[in-house]
Structure formats: structure tokens, C-alpha cells
Amino acid sequence: MGLGLFGSILVFALFCRQIVCQKPNTDGFYIYDFLQKTGVISSEANNISASVCSWQWVFCDYHQENVIGLVASDLGISGFIPDNTIGKLSKLESLDLSNNKITGLSSDFWGLGSNLKTLNLSYNQISGSIPSNVGNFGALQSLDLSFNSFSGELPASVSSLLSLQVLKIDRNQFIGSIPSGFLNCQSLVSIDLSFNLLNGTLPYGFGSAFPKLKTLNLAGNEIHGRSEDFVGLQSITYLNISGNLFQGSVMNVFHEPLKVIDLSQNQFEGQISQVHSNSSFNWSRLVFLDMSANKFSGTFFQDLNKAQNLRHLNLAYNRFSNQEFPQIEKLPALEYLNLSQTGLTGSIPPAISQLGSLRTLDLSGNHLTGRITYLDIYNLQVLDVSQNNLTGEIPYSILLKLPKMQNFNFSYNNFTLCASQFSPETLESAFIGSLNSCPIAANPNLFRRKTTTHNGLKLALAISLALVCLLVGLLCLAFGCRRKSRMWVVKQQSYKEDQNISGPFSFQTDSTTWVADVKVATSVPVVIFEKPLLNFTFADLLSATSNFDRGTLLAEGRFGPVYRGLLPGGIHVAVKVLVHGSTMTDQETAREFEYLGQIRHPNLVPLTGYCLAGDQRIAIYDYMETGNLQNLLHDLPLGVQTTEDWSTDTWDEDNNNAIQNVGSEGIQTTWRIRHKIALGTARALAFLHHGCSPPIIHRDVKASSVYLDSNWEPRLSDFGLAKIFGNGLEHEMVLGSQRYAPPEFSQPEAGSPTPKSDVYGFGVVLFELITRKQPIGDDYPDGQDSNLVSWVRTLVRKNQGLIAIDPKIRGMGPETQMEEALRIGYLCTADLPSKRPSMHQIVGLLKDIEPV
């Protein structure tokens, strides 16, 4: 499986060289005909020399006569499965056609025979209904039709599948209610019907029908019912019925041996404090509990403090009575806590500081008073204490953490903030406004800076906007907008049951070959920081990137290839493979990745997770939809066909002069946008140099390291990877990229990279932004040896900087500002490092010429 589509075709081609015909109407004939008609094998290779049983994807019986297994996952199969091909494999026991582009099935497909035990058609584009003759698969044990476009009602003939253990039909368009014959499948261990259009009620006796059931996922449908429907599920450990129409009490839900319970976005009601009377529930096993967006009243669980292994707790948006803060200090494993709008009163207890693993804390919309002294929690990434009655100063220890956090909100409290205590950079990056009293609306990546004039008016506008957003959110909740959010899509189990993909795996790009020395892909974990309950493995990375196919390759940089991927649950990521071997142990590497995952800034590409695949280190980042700056400036982004498109000025601006909308036909590069990219990139480097302890030197600042998110905000990538990358990087970085390396790197005894070498690389990027010329290779008038830096510096010295400015942005902003930006680049690219300004100074200089 590690060969990918290209390797697959090559292997098949080896079997197609000699002219030795397959016998007609044999299993080998049917499989070969199937692969040829679906485009996997060229039509020119019309004969196969080897026995079908020797093929890599085919498994035969003991006598090597009949095909009993075919694994054709991720081979690029497209279109309809033809008649008289694999539908004729009468002895087939296992068929895997997942991760292809199949749109329909042959008329004889559902007549494969009574021996079929495993059928996987997931991640295709198959539409239509399931025919009634699916009941012919009497021996079927696992059926996976997930992530397709199947529609219609579930056939009643499913009642004939008495051996079925795994049923996955999630992410389709099935309608109607679950048929009562479904209860005959009493061997089921895992059921996933989530995110379809199912309605009605569960069949009577649903819970007692499945004594072996461990996993049940009905999320994202419109199913009616009550908690009594689940009585009798003696073996269940995972229950997700979120986003449905279940009503009544939840007393019957809490029973052994549940570990994951998601009841969110339903219509449950009653007092959950009574659950403690159910003595059969073992709280210590519970790992995940979400009861948000229901109608619960009263107070919290009395036995909640017994859930010592609980990692995720969400009780938000209910109708609880006013109550004091729960004893959460007895939940040491807690990583996610959402008690928004739960009637909390009093102060936040000091014991909350003992939750060392906590990453998300939402206490908004309550009646909390006092100070927030104890919220200086080391791993905290998301903090919301808005809409309370909190007072006092925000502790300086918390303020220092804010630039590294993912999201925070202190709005609508009675905090005091003394502007004189902090630098202007800290105020502008962490708070809106610089008043001595609040309310404060904090979350820097949601707002735009302009506080020099009309501060009172703009603060009022910000508060009004926040109130409007709050009212819209409440209205959406009240009128049932729950189906749009799909907020729990990503909580599903991502592994494929009974699928062990064996290695080692080898992948090739234009510039390198890298190997993941993994024996079983499903045994190697993938860590996703913000989704700790998702059991991703290296097999999921293979699936997400089409076996690291070249078609998913985004770039090949100094660190290694970068692939685009879509993990289960719709998590869009960029997967960077660090091709140099590291001398660090797995434990040291994991610790370094965990540290980098905590570094957060609005202008940095966040590290989402990582995978240690043998000796191979793989970094996983948020995917940046718009691509990188190098493609933006020089290669043209997707959808832009001609350079003339770049001159079309179709952007809008708000009162703060912030770019709000870029035309859909292409990126409209005005001076305002280019300045925005320059300032954001400078802020990212200033944070790495001055806001991290110890300071982080990027070492490879260049246009292709600057990405743009969906809002066209610049995000700097590849920071902090040098230690993990391996011994070869230090020498490679000292040599530097010819286009961005400072002069000191060309010396025989070049030293190590410093912050000033990053400054030089930024200066080159700034020149590129203003001139839209390549650092080297463009036609410069000064001769063959000229490059962008020497050309622009010469013009600036002669006060002729206007000549260098890109004609596309002339007239789209004050040219004096553009000339001044060239002078800033001139300072950054000084020959002597001591003559270059710091990134903090550069941020100030760029802010002074911000377009008005």
C-alpha cells in the first residue's frame, strides 16, 4: 500500500509484458478486466503473464484456485464498476475498494455470493439506494459504506445479515427511520449511522437487541426517542447521540461500562444531580462527557468528582439553577472544560490552578465575581471568561501568556487595565483599546488596529458588534441551527476496523525519497493536540494524503515535502515530512513537538500535531487555503489565469480600513494588502525573537515560508524545526538559500544563524512584496550578476526607489509609503548584522507607514 497509485501501476505493468493470455471466465480474467476498464491498467497491456494469486492485492484460497480477497484501496478507480468483472468472483470473502472515485455499482455487484465477510466501499462517490438483495450477503461481518452519497431508506432485508459485527454508513443521505428488522443483527459490535437524514423513533426494544454492542453513533440526524431506548446495552463503551431530538430524563443513559457519552444538542431535561442514585455507573471509567445545549435544570452531578479520568466535560447552554463552582480540582486529567451559561456564582476557586492538563476553559455567561488570579494554567490555549462580574486587574502572568494562546475573551466584566504597565506592542496584540477601565473585548485576530483617533467611538462600535454577534448566536440556537454546525463531526473513531496495513513504506518526490519504517500502519499513533480523543494513526495519514501521492504534494522545501491531507472528520491539514534523520530520541522529539504546539500567535501557522513513524518525523499543521506568498507573487494562485486579473480592484473596507473581502476571481494585490502581509510577517518574527524564552530563530525566512489563511492574514511557517530536523540542518542553514542568505553566510567561517540573519531574510521578502520580482533570476538592468537586493539598494541610495515599485500597485496607495517601505528593506539588508534593526523596531517602522 505504501507505493501509491504510481507505484501500483508500475507493479501491474510488470505482469503485463509477456503475451500469455488469462483464461476466459476465470477469477484472474475478471479482476484484470475490472482493473483495465476502470483505468488502473492501460488498455495496451491486454495480457498478464503471472498467476492472479501472485498479485500484490489479491489473496487466494489454500489451493491457489479461487480469489477470496481483493484490496484495491486508493488505486484511482473511477466511474461505475463494470458488469461481468468483480461481480463474478463467487468465492470472494473480502473486498476493499475504499478511497477511490467510484460513482456507481454494477448490476451484478450485489450478487457477489454468500461467502463475502468484509465489504469496504468508504470514501467514494457512490449514489443511489442500497438494493434489497444486500440480504444475500448472509456471511457478512463488516459493512462500511461511509463517506459516499447513498440515499433512500435502509432496506428491510438488512435483517438477514445475522453475522454482521461492524456497520458504518455514516456521512451519506439515507432517509426514513431505522427498520425494525435491524434488531435481528444481534452480533453487532459497532454501529455508525451518523450524519444522515434519518428520522422517526428507534425500533422498540433497540437497547436489549444488541448485547455485544460497544460503539453506537447516531449523531447529526433527526431521530426521536428517550433514554429508555438504550436500556440493555450491556457492553457499550462509546455512545454519541448528539444533534438529534431525544427528550426526557437521562437517568437510564449512565450505566456500565460507558467511557464516552455525547448527548449534546438534544431536548433532554430534568435534574442531572439525581444520576448519583444509579449505583451501577462507574464514574472512574468516564473519559468524555458532553451534555451541552439541552434543557437540564437543577445543579450538577453530585458524583462528578469521582470521574478522575475525565478529559472532556461540556455542560454549557442548559437551564441550571444558580450554583457554586464544582470541585473540579478532583478531576486531574481534565483537558477541556466548558461551563458556559450554567448559573455559576461566587468566585473562581484557587484549586482550578491544579488542573495542569487543562487546555480549554470556558466560563462565559455566568455570575462569577472576584479576581482571576488562579487562571495562570501552564497548558491553557483557550480562555473565555466574558459576560461575568469579574473585577480587579488581569494578572501580568496571564497577560504574558495571551500572545501564545489560540483564543481568549475578557469582554463585559469589570476588569481594570493600566496602559502604563505595558508596552504599546503588548496592548495592541492582546487587547482592543487602551483604556484604564473596561469592558475589554480581547481576541486580536478578530479585529483591526487603529486607536490613534476616535478611540471612544471605535470602542463603542466594537462593543455593539459583539452584542449583535451574541444576539445572532442566541437566535440561531433558539431556532434550531444545530444541523449547520456539525461541531462534533471530528469526535468519531477514525480507525478502520480490522484493517492492518503493513510496511515499511517508501515514497518518492522529484527531489528525494523518504521511508517510514513502520510494520503496521494502524499501530503508529498520530497526535492531534486539540483533539486528544481522536485515535488517529499513520494509516489515517496514508488515507488522508492518498498514500502521500504526488497529486497531494504542496511543496518541497529545505525541510522536506509537504502534502495536503484531509483527516477523518473533515480536518484539513498540511503534512510536512522532515526528511533528515534526527539524533533525538522519540521521547525527546515528542517533547519538542509538544513545546512547539504551545507556541501560538495570530501570524504563525499553528502546529496541529505530529507522528513518529519509525525514524521519520512528521509535523502536521493547519492547512492554509490561499497558499504561500511565493506563489501569490510569482506563480499566480489557483483561479487566476492572467496577470491582468491582478490589477482589478474589487476589495471593500470597513471603518478601520481593514480589508474585508477579496474578489472571488483572484487575489487583488493592492498596496494595502501587501503592507498587511509585511506587517503580519514582521509581527510573527518579532514574537519569535522577543516573545519566546529562549528566543526562536527561524533560520529560513523566505516568501514560500509565508502562508495566507482564508482571511488573507499572513502566517509564518517552519519555525522551531531545526532541533528536530537533524544534524545536517545547521550546516545547511549556515550555507543558506542563495536568494535569502545574508552576506555573512558566504564567509569561509560562517557562524550560526542569529536573529539578525532572520532580519536580512525578511528584508528580501519585503523587497519582493513591493517590486514583485524574484530575488534572483529576474531581468535586472545592472547586469548578469545583479540580484534583487543589490538592484533595489542601489536605487534607494540614488533616491530612485520609485523605479523598483511594481507597476500593479502604483496609484493604489501613497507612493511615498512604498518608497519608505523600500528604505526599511534597505536597513534590513545591511551587509553588517549590527547595522540591521531588530524585528521589534521593524514592526514600529511599518506601523508608521500603515495605509490610512
Cross-strand partners of 336: 312, 360
Measured CA to CA, the distance from residue 464 to residue 466 in angstroms comes to 5
Q: In what side-by-side order are the strands of the sheet with 127-128?
A: 127-128, 149-153, 173-176, 197-198
Which among 597, 664, 166, 662 is positioned nearest to 405, based on CA atoms? Answer: 597
- Taking the C-alpha atoms of residue 659 and residue 403, their distance in angstroms, rounded to an integer, is 23
Contact 285, 309 (CB under 8 A): yes
∠ CA 396-427-452, nearest 5°, is 155
Query: What is the three-class DSSP state of 708?
Result: strand
Q: Half-sphere exposure of residue 764, counting CA atoms within 13 Å on the CB side?
A: 28
Task: Determine how β-strand 407-409 pairs with β-strand 382-384.
Answer: parallel
What is the Cα–Cα distance from 280 to 722, expressed in whole angstroms?
Answer: 52
Q: Are 227 and 206 in contact (CB under 8 A)?
A: no
The residues pairing with 79 across neighbouring beta strands, listed in sequence order, are: 102
Those residues with Cβ within 8 angstroms of residue 63's Cβ, 6 or more apart along the chain or in another chain:
none
Q: How many CB atoms lie within 10 A of CB 811?
A: 11
Q: Give the residue carrying C-alpha cell 434488531.
A: 183
Cα 321 → chain centroid: 37
Quick check: 120 and 93 in contact, CB under 8 A? no
Q: Which residues contact 513 (CB under 8 A, 6 or more apart)?
A: 506, 507
Q: Which has the closest alpha carbon to 818: 634, 648, 671? A: 671
φ/ψ (deg, to 5) at 702: -160, 170
Catalytic (active site) residue 700: yes
Residue among 711, 719, 715 nearest 755 (CA): 719
Cα 551-552-557 angle, rounded to 5 deg = 110
Q: What angle do CA 149, 151, 152 make, to 5 degrees?
A: 175
Helix, coil or strand: residue 57: coil
3-state SS assignment for residue 297: strand
- Residue 186, all three cell numbers: 444481534
Question: Are residues 517 and 615 in contact, defined by beta-carbon separation less than 8 angstroms?
Answer: yes
Q: For residue 836, what are the CA distances in angstroms to 373, 755, 831? A: 40, 10, 8
- Give the three-class secondary structure for 156: helix
**Kind plus residue range of the DSSP H or E element containing 845:** helix 839-848
What are the DSSP calls for 566-621, one per residue? EETTTEEEEEEEE-SPP-S-HHHHHHHHHHHHT---TTBPPEEEEEEETTEEEEEE
By C-alpha distance, which of 562, 623, 498, 589 is closest to 165? Answer: 498
Q: Contact, 262 vs 240, CB < 8 A?
A: yes
Which of 700, 718, 758, 806 is the catalytic position? 700
Burial 473-505 (b: 16+ CB within 10 A, else e): eeeeeeeeebeeeebbbbbbbbebbebebebeb
- Catalytic residue ranges: 700
